[in-house]
Amino acid sequence: MTEMVHGLAPARTSDPVLPRWWRTIDKLTMSCILGLFGIGLLLGLAASPPLAARNGLPPFHYVERQAMFGGAAMVVMLLVSMMGPKAVRRLAVVGFALSFVALVCLPFLGTDFGKGAIRWYSLGFVSFQPSEFLKPGFVVLAAWLMAAATERDGPPGKLWSFGLMVIIVTMLALQPDFGQAALVLFSWGVMYFVAGAPMTLLAVLASVVVVSGTFAYEHSEHFARRINGFLSPEVDPRTQLGYATNAIREGGFFGVGVGEGEVKWSLPDAHTDFIIAVAAEEYGLILVMLIIALYAFIVVGSLVRLIGERDPFIRLAGTGLACSFGVQAMINMGVAVRLLPAKGMTLPFVSYGGSSLIAGGIAVGMLLAMTRTRPQGRMGEILGARER
C-alpha cells in the first residue's frame, strides 16, 4: 500500500531547485519551443520591415519588440515550469479570475483597432487580449473541477466546468471572436473526453455546436462573411487569403530566396496571422514542414509523457494545454491554405504579438510543469514491480 501511495522512486527533496528542475523537465518540448521562437525572429526580420516602413518606424522596430516580448515569455515559461502542480493551479485560478473580469469589461473599455471586433485593451505603448490569458487559466481550472468530481463525495465538477465553458464561449462569440470560442470549446471537450464522458453526450454536444453555428451564420454578418469567403470557389487575389495562397504557391519546395518574397509588401498581417505564408514563399516547403514537425513533437511528446501520469488533475490539465496549443497552430496554418475559414489567430511563438507571446509562455510553462518526471514513479512501473 505504501508503494501505491508514495511510489517506488524516493523523492530527492534535498536537491536544489535548478538541478531537480533540469533533471525532470521535458527537454525535447523546451528545445522545440526555443526553436519556434528562433524561427519567429527569423521570419520577423523578413515580414515586419515593410509594415514598419508604412508606419514610419525604424526597419526592425517590430523585430525588436518581438525579441523583447519573446524574451520575457521565455523567462515566464521557465519560471512557471519550475512550479509544482498545486502552485500552477493557484496561478491558473488567479490568472483566470483577473482575465475573466477583463473579458467582462471589454465591451466598455476595450478597442477593436479597426478590425470590427472588440478584443483588445490599448494602453498606448502596448495592447493585450484578455482571451489569450484566459485560455490556460480556464484549462487548468476546468481540469481541477473535473478531477475533483472523480473523488468520493466530490463536487459536481464536470457540470460546473460545463457551465463555465458555456459562459466563456458565449462572451467570446459576442465580441465576436469565434476562433477563441472554438478553441475554448475544443479544449474543454478534449478534457471531458479524457475524463470519461459518454459518447452519446459528446454527440449531443456536437449537435448543439452545429445548431449554434447555423444560428450564428444566419444572424452574424461577421461570421457569415468569413464562411462565405471560405466556401467561395474563387479567391479574390486582392484579399489577404488571395495574397497568402499565391505566396504559398510561389514558394514551392525551396522558396524564392531569403528577402525575395513579395507577399510581405501586400499583407497587412504578414507578421502575425499569415506569417506562415512568408515562411512558405521565402523558404519553401522545407521550413514549413520543420515548423509543423516542431509543433507535432511538442504535442505528441507531451501526450506520451502524460499517458503514465497517475494524478487525474495533472493528466487532464496537461492534455488540455497540449491540445489547445496544437490546435491553435493547426487553425492558423489551416486558414493560410484555405482549409479553414479565416479566424484571426496567431501562430504560437512564431507570429508577432506581445500578449500572445506572454500568454503562450505561461501556457507552455504550465504544460512543462505538468509533464515533468514525478519522483514517485509512474503507474505502469508500479504495477510492473508488483507483478514481479
Q: Where are the domains of the chain?
A: 16-374
**SS3 assignment, position 114:** coil
Cell triple for 190:
478534449
The single-letter code of the amino acid at 69 is F
Give which of 379, 386, 380, 370 is closest to 88, Cα–Cα: 370
Which residues 6+ apart lie within 8 Å of 49 measured at CB?
59, 60, 264
Other C-beta atoms lying within 10 Å of the C-beta of residue 60? 15
What is the per-residue pLDDT for 240? 74
Task: Please name which of 178, 161, 175 lies closest in space to residue 212, comparing C-alpha atoms.
Answer: 178
| Single-letter residue type at 122 | S
The pLDDT value given to residue 236: 63
Q: Are 155 and 149 in contact (CB under 8 A)?
A: yes
pLDDT of residue 12: 52
CB 302 within 8 Å of CB 294: no
Residue-wise DSSP of 346-384: --TTTS--HHHHHHHHHHHHHHHHHTSPPTT--HHHHHH
- Give CB contacts under 8 A, 24+ apart, made by 288-291: 288/333, 290/39, 291/36, 291/39, 291/350
pLDDT of 2: 41
The DSSP secondary-structure symbol of 120 reads B
Nearest alpha-carbon partner for 172 in 205, 220, 241: 220
- Cβ-Cβ contacts under 8 Å for 247 (sequence gap 6 or more): 261, 262, 263, 277, 278, 280, 281
Residues of the chain with pLDDT under 50: 1-11, 377-379, 381-383, 385-388
Residue 237 confidence (pLDDT): 62
Contact 288, 277 (CB under 8 A): no
Q: Can you tell me the distance from the alpha carbon of 340 to that of 119, in angstroms, rounded to the nearest whole number?
A: 21
Asked whether 321 and 370 are in contact (CB, 8 A), the reply is: yes
Q: Quickly list DSSP for 28-88.
A: HHHHHHHHHHHHHHHHHHHHHHHHHHHTT--TTHHHHHHHHHHHHHHHHHHHHHTS-HHHH
Q: How many residues does the chain have?
A: 388
Residue whose C-alpha is closest to residue 135's, from 102, 95, 170:
95
Q: Can you read off the three cell numbers belonging to residue 220?
A: 452574424
Q: Tell me the β-bridge partners of 111.
A: 120
* 14: amino acid identity, one letter: S
